[in-house]
Structure 1
Amino acid sequence: MTAARAPRHDDRRRTFPALPPRPGAEGDFAASWWGNAWVESMEDTALDTARLRRGRAYAGGGHVDAITVTPGKVTAYVHGSRPRPYRTEIRLRTLDEAGWEDLLDSAAARPDHIAALLDKDMPHSLAEVAGLLPGPGDLTPDCSCPDDGYPCKHAAALCYQTARLLDEDPFVLFLMRGRGEQEVLADLTRRNAARSAVERTAAAPAMPTVAAGAALAARGLPALPPPFPVPAGPGQPPDFPQAPGAPDPLALDLLATEAAARAHAFLSTGIDPVAALTPWQDAVRLAAAHPGSGLTASTRALYRDLAAATDRTPMDLARAVAAWRQGGFAGLAVLETPWDPPAGPFDRARPALIAADFPHFRPWRNHLSTDTLQLRFGQDGLWYGYESDRGREDWWPRGTPDTDPVGALTALLGR
């Protein structure tokens, strides 16, 4: 007799248990902006608002059974006035290959997008790429009931309950458009790994050699060679394999990289670059040394453990890492410490930006801001670029610091 096989996980088919009733809900049915955008795409094309009200009441009253989501389709049984429930579904278009390429390239290019998705949040700018959220007329309802309304109350109820699923997990929206969560994360990991490989590739220093015959010849030992010169940079550790019972490869890589960097600093300067850092600054430095952190289970665990050890959240750490990669210790100080700069370069910045035909910026301490762009003046005399989605006040470091505010803004905008 053969042993029973374990059930195979299907990343492109997810079934969610029936959601508990939520009677008496007023205002927006969903809690997230993307959940309400899903509802609006149906409401904007509905032909009968009375059916929408009945569907909303059905959803709030728990009439919708378990919901199954597959690419291009959301299906559930909805209980109506008859004993037998109706089979109801909502169909929508899946993304083609070009659409997925645009969407994944956009997500991989910005660490704040990846951090937001892992925190179950959907950035506005990412949702706009390739039409991830449905627009008016994109949702096609269908139901086994005799009502020919568009939509019927059963399809409306399914749409409202689906919005609650999207509140809890925006990756459900990716599945509706054609790809499951694990498939999306694996693709993002591959794209990030390719970028990281380019960043971390370095030529190995040439090592002097001695011929074997000369070394074994019967003669006196030669004088010791002079000490090797200090290499231009620390070496890269080997690839550590994943093996049962062995230490975590990511932890080994982290320790080896850290030891090489500190040893190189001692050889070059005689100073330990880590000794003066606080635990939080050191945690940011360690996370910033690993460009792929936050994608795989191992690297997500690194962010989680470092954040927990310093009483911060993984999102706090991701933002601080972006600041460290932008400007090191000075970049982190610009992120975390507003200050009042003296008159001079800061006061000349706004006229210079206006003369360069950039928008008018609002000053606050060492910040100059518009709705989506921000420049911060650091105590090192450099201008640092920041960006946020409109109306979010969720600023993320971007671009290259510059002594000229116009140059920093040009780098931020990619001109």
Structure 2
Amino acid sequence: MTTPRGARGAVPRHDDRRRSFPQVAPREAPDGRFAATWWGNAWVEALEDTALDPARLARGKAYAGRGHVDAITVTPGRVVAYVHGSRPRPYRTEIRMRTLGDDGWERFLDEATARPDHIAALLDKDVPHALEAVTGLLPAPGDLVPDCSCPDDGYPCKHAAALCYQAARLLDEDPFVLFLMRGRGEQELLAELTRRNAALSAAESTAAAPPMPTVPARAVFDAAERAGLPLPPPLPAPDRPGRPAVFPPDPDAPDPLALDLLASEAAVRAHAFLITGHDPVAALTPWQDAVRLAAAHPGSGLTASTRALYRDLAYALDRTPTDLARAVAAWRQGGAAGLAVLEEPWDPPAGPFDRARPALIAADFPAFRPWRNRLSTDSLQLRLGRDGLWYGYESDAGREDWWPRGAPDHDPVGALTDLLGR
């Protein structure tokens, strides 16, 4: 027997746009719902809202609950599985939908890259409402088109309904299945998010830290000695620490990410010594130091290695990666004071806090509800720090999932204006 050319020892190529999932075990749904997430339920509702026969839906749900749906294969625009019915041979069943166009994916990627909380949510297998709102990722009623090899011409038949219910369970476990249904694979999306985040970080670093002029130390000493002149004053300290060089991977060298983090850490601490004369790390708790370390690396949380860093740092301190990502956003907003604002509600004395609500109303902002040091609407929040600064926060409406955003300000109107980007 002759082996085809290239087949011997060939490594199967990974197809990022095709995923197969083993048969989902039967599961009872006491509340009658198959999905646990809001996007999983939205998927089911899109089919249920256009179903012509509720009885077929009920039978489809029972089929799904009894494990009649075999392995499911997902490709862009299509979900396919064999579903067992009353006959010995299963039926080939599929659900089709349109894929998202290039413009829609551009909006999705722009929105995800613009906010660190969105990236953190995706990495934690969550779909922010805001991402769905700008792209229309979830199907609307009528977007899902069922098809089945069975003789039933119902819309949908019970086999297609069963597949839809089981697919909702896959979406619960991994929202990247939804993105694949709409046309993009997980690795493809993560690679593009990483590229955009790195470009954004590089642009910010270049704009914020222009190179400083330098003078060789030996030349200064030699010239001063020859002329009998005192040494010139030292150069002014830079506004912020510089970024380290990019370390190429080498099998005999330490991990490049670890080197990058160590170099970033050294630059930050050296800058602090230069400016203040003391070590800012000495008084930090282990949690504060972990947050500071993660915040020192702009690309943390995107690639596989940096996701592992977030996971290891978080779990070592009994926190989740989302907890760490939120804390990093607070640290970047205001350092240790910003982290304290995130984690420590307190009762401010009368004065600036009491004057904040009338000032916001006078500036034509909506009425805010007070609670301790916080003023909130359904999606916006201002928190007064013990340092007298107002810190902006944002959440999807009704979720109470607050993320730091914007620059702190002594004026609540100024902090809110920056938060809204006015």
TM-score bucket of the superposed structures, by smaller chain: over 0.9
After superposition, residues 13-52 of structure 1 pair within 5 angstroms as 13-23=18-28, 25-52=30-57
Q: CA deviation at 1:309?
A: 2.8
| Counterpart code for 2:182 | R
Q: Provide the residue aligned with 1:290 in structure 2.
A: 297
After superposition, residues 159-174 of structure 1 pair within 5 angstroms as 159-174=164-179
Q: Secondary structure at the match of 1:88?
A: strand
In structure 2, stretches of 5+ residues that fail to align are none
Number of residue-to-residue matches in the alignment? 409
In the alignment, which of 189, 193, 203 is matched to residue 188 of structure 1?
193
Tell me which moved more, 350-359 or 140-149.
350-359
Q: CA deviation at 1:91?
A: 0.4
Partners of 1:25 and 1:60 within 8 A in 2: no
Partners of 1:13 and 1:68 within 8 A in 2: yes
CA offsets, 1:222-251, max 9 Å, x none?
A: 879557435414343221111113211111
After superposition, residues 190-269 of structure 1 pair within 5 angstroms as 190-201=195-206, 202-208=209-215, 226=232, 228-232=234-238, 233-269=240-276
Q: Provide the residue aligned with 1:376 in structure 2.
A: 383
Tell me which moved more, 173-182 or 194-203.
194-203
Partners of 2:53 and 2:154 within 8 A in 1: yes
In the alignment, which of 65, 70, 75 is matched to residue 65 of structure 1?
70
Q: Provide the residue aligned with 1:332 in structure 2.
A: 339
Residue 24 and residue 399 in structure 1: after superposition, are their counterparts in 2 closer, same or farther (change >3 A)? closer
Q: Secondary structure at the match of 1:189?
A: helix
Q: CA deviation at 1:57?
A: 0.5
Q: Secondary structure at the match of 1:173?
A: helix
Q: Secondary structure at the match of 2:288?
A: helix
Residue 364 and residue 16 in structure 1: after superposition, are their counterparts in 2 closer, same or farther (change >3 A)? same
Q: CA deviation at 1:199?
A: 2.1
In the alignment, which of 104, 109, 113 is matched to residue 118 of structure 2?
113
Q: Provide the C-alpha distance between the structure 1 equivalents of 2:213 and 2:378, rounded to a whole number of angstroms.
A: 52
Q: Provide the residue aligned with 1:354 in structure 2.
A: 361
CA offsets, 1:26-82, max 9 Å, x none?
A: 322211111110000000000000100110011001111100000000000111111
2:312 equivalent to 1:305? yes
Q: Secondary structure at the match of 1:399?
A: coil
Residue 370 and residue 235 in structure 1: after superposition, are their counterparts in 2 closer, same or farther (change >3 A)? closer
Q: Secondary structure at the match of 2:82?
A: strand
Q: Provide the C-alpha distance between the structure 2 equivalents of 1:83 and 1:309, rounded to a whole number of angstroms.
A: 52
Q: CA deviation at 1:144?
A: 0.7
Q: Provide the C-alpha distance between the structure 2 equivalents of 1:356 and 1:63, rounded to a whole number of angstroms.
A: 60
Q: TM-score, normalised by structure 1?
A: 0.94
Tell me which moved more, 355-364 or 306-315.
306-315
Q: Provide the C-alpha distance between the structure 2 equivalents of 1:204 and 1:369, rounded to a whole number of angstroms.
A: 42
CA offsets, 1:339-362, max 9 Å, x none?
A: 111111111111111122211111
2:178 equivalent to 1:154? no
Q: Provide the residue aligned with 2:148 in structure 1.
A: 143
CA offsets, 1:116-147, max 9 Å, x none?
A: 11111111121222110001000000111111
Partners of 1:230 and 1:267 within 8 A in 2: no
Tell me which moved more, 90-99 or 122-131.
122-131
Q: Provide the C-alpha distance between the structure 2 equivalents of 1:31 and 1:323, rounded to a whole number of angstroms.
A: 29
Q: Provide the C-alpha distance between the structure 2 equivalents of 1:23 and 1:300, rounded to a whole number of angstroms.
A: 34
In the alignment, which of 369, 385, 389 is matched to residue 396 of structure 2?
389
Q: TM-score, normalised by structure 2?
A: 0.92
Partners of 2:385 and 2:391 within 8 A in 1: yes
Q: Provide the C-alpha distance between the structure 2 equivalents of 1:154 and 1:377, rounded to a whole number of angstroms.
A: 56
Q: CA deviation at 1:109?
A: 1.0
In structure 1, stretches of 5+ residues that fail to align are none
| Counterpart code for 1:414 | G
Residue 299 and residue 24 in structure 1: after superposition, are their counterparts in 2 closer, same or farther (change >3 A)? closer
Q: Provide the C-alpha distance between the structure 2 equivalents of 1:242 and 1:146, rounded to a whole number of angstroms.
A: 58
Q: CA deviation at 1:153?
A: 0.5
Percent of aligned pairs sharing the same letter? 78
Residue 109 and residue 234 in structure 1: after superposition, are their counterparts in 2 closer, same or farther (change >3 A)? closer
After superposition, residues 313-332 of structure 1 pair within 5 angstroms as 313-332=320-339
Partners of 1:205 and 1:231 within 8 A in 2: no
Residue 178 and residue 57 in structure 1: after superposition, are their counterparts in 2 closer, same or farther (change >3 A)? same
Q: Provide the C-alpha distance between the structure 2 equivalents of 1:289 and 1:173, rounded to a whole number of angstroms.
A: 32
Residue 322 and residue 209 in structure 1: after superposition, are their counterparts in 2 closer, same or farther (change >3 A)? closer
RMSD: 2.0
Q: Provide the C-alpha distance between the structure 1 equivalents of 2:298 and 2:282, rounded to a whole number of angstroms.
A: 23
Residue 87 and residue 333 in structure 1: after superposition, are their counterparts in 2 closer, same or farther (change >3 A)? same
CA offsets, 1:340-388, max 9 Å, x none?
A: 1111111111111112221111111101111111111111111111111
